[in-house]
Amino acid sequence: MIYFDHSATTQVAPEVLDAMLPFLKDQYGNPSSIYALASRSRGAVEDARRELASYIGADPREVIFTGCGSESDNHAIKGTAWALRDKGRHIITSAVEHHAVLDACHALERDGYEVTVIPVDQDCMVDAAQVAAAIRNDTILVSIMHANNEVGSVQPVAEIGKICKERGVVFHTDAVQSLGKVPVNVNDLNVDLLTVSGHKVHAPKGVGALYMRRGTKLRKLIDGGGQELNRRAGTENVAGIVGFGEAVKLLKEHGEAEVAHTRRLRDRIIEGVLGTVPHTVLTGHPEKRLPNLASFCIHYIEGEGILLSLDMWGICASSGSACTSGSLDPSHVLLAMGFSHAVAHGSLRLSLGRGNTDEEVDTLLQVLPTMVERLRAMSPLWSDAVKRGEV
């Protein structure tokens, strides 16, 4: 099997599994209890918190663990909106956010908040000046993602954060895809709130974290016990949190080498695909993009057809994001970038990880051109294009 879908999720690293196992076996104490067994769980959770906090330039008391990236996004957005409702009810976000952000904003709209959605250009980039122009006296929150999950464009988050700071508006960024791929430092990025998720960096699924700058007013999303610095109730997922901490430790040790490795493979894929598959465009910014992500629109073809054909070769890839694939709607990201429905349907995302090899890239580049040719031979989109003299 060739796994080119690391933006959807990653395999749990062996070191991560080893670190977790004791907490699924003998070390099962509840971190809130007071005996020695429990304090070992407490200690492990706090070690993981320190590990993650130091990696993103935060104080450990500014980091809470959550159940996933989606929860962190919801907490940041709804928590801020609820806490600041007397100050204002206007929120700014972008058209290409993950649904965890967009749908949280839509939910608030139904409760009387107003949301301004900033468009993107054809490279999926948000213009910081447009964000600045959209800020009003009643704006309480700006949420713009760090890196896009479908096309990999990296947004000018530091610049947007600086504007928000000057205008006194809380700034949240979703850094789920950028963690470990491009530097994520909460001070350099000028953010008040930042979302990350474990399963994108070789930790298990079901653990995320939210950075909250000291002094940022936020209501709780989950009420109950006093866990997670009294900001997120619920007995901690100790093993998951320990795994996340270990995964971050691995990023500190090997992250740079991994980025160089995936960037080289990514560039081979981009060059190879554009060079051998006619009528194909790279999606996302050509330079300001994640080092592990190659994404394309292959004209006159259905993305799903490519995925199924790749699967027959044992190659895992995706078309649009994992959460929306399965639905027939074309990606909201590609539509926001100005692609037509027909072209957006032909999207292909290949996202790389530490385990991928040159041989795997060779295989992809060998099989893809013929695969596309065969699919086009059966595609009405292609025969129509031939009739129109387009191809």
**To which H or E segment does residue 307 belong?**
helix 303-312
Is residue 124 part of the annotated active site? The answer reads: no
Structure tokens at 254: 């090997």
Instruction: With H, G, I as helix, E, B as strand and everything else as coil, classify residue 340.
Output: coil
Q: How far is the CB of 52 from ligand PLP (least distance, A)?
A: 14
Structure tokens at 211: 């950075």
- Backbone phi and psi for residue 245, each to the nearest 5 degrees, phi listed first: -60, -45
Closer by beta carbon to ligand PLP, 186 or else 375: 186
Q: How far is the CB of 142 from ligand PLP (least distance, A)?
A: 16
Q: How far is the CB of 58 from ligand PLP (least distance, A)?
A: 19
Q: How far is the CB of 40 from ligand PLP (least distance, A)?
A: 27
Indicate which residue of 124, 164, 297, 323 is catalytic: 323
Closer by beta carbon to ligand PLP, 174 or else 360: 174
Nearest to 348 by CA among 369, 378, 362, 374: 369
Closer by beta carbon to ligand PLP, 49 or else 89: 49
Which residue ranges make up the site for ligand PLP (CB under 6 A)? 68-70, 73, 98, 100, 145, 149, 174, 176-177, 197, 199, 208, 321
Which residue matches tokens 């929306």?
324
Closer by beta carbon to ligand PLP, 135 or else 192: 192
Those residues with Cβ within 8 angstroms of residue 20's Cβ, 6 or more apart along the chain or in another chain: 204, 239, 240, 242, 243, 246
Q: Checking DSSP bridges between strand 280-282 and strand 293-298, what pairing results, if any?
A: antiparallel
**To which H or E segment does residue 210 belong?**
strand 208-212
The residue whose Cβ lies closest to ligand PLP is 69
Q: How far is the CB of 81 from ligand PLP (least distance, A)?
A: 18
Q: How far is the CB of 151 from ligand PLP (least distance, A)?
A: 11
Structure tokens at 179: 């963690």
- Strand segments, DSSP code E, in 283-367 are 293-298, 315-316, 347-351
Between CA 155 and CA 103 the distance in angstroms is 20
Closer by beta carbon to ligand PLP, 155 or else 321: 321
Closer by beta carbon to ligand PLP, 291 or else 305: 291
Instruction: With H, G, I as helix, E, B as strand and everything else as coil, classify residue 131.
Output: helix
What DSSP line would sit under 240-283, residue for residue? Answer: HHHHHHHHHHHHHHHHHHHHHHHHHHHHHHHHHHHHHSSSEEE-
Q: Which residues are catalytic?
A: 323
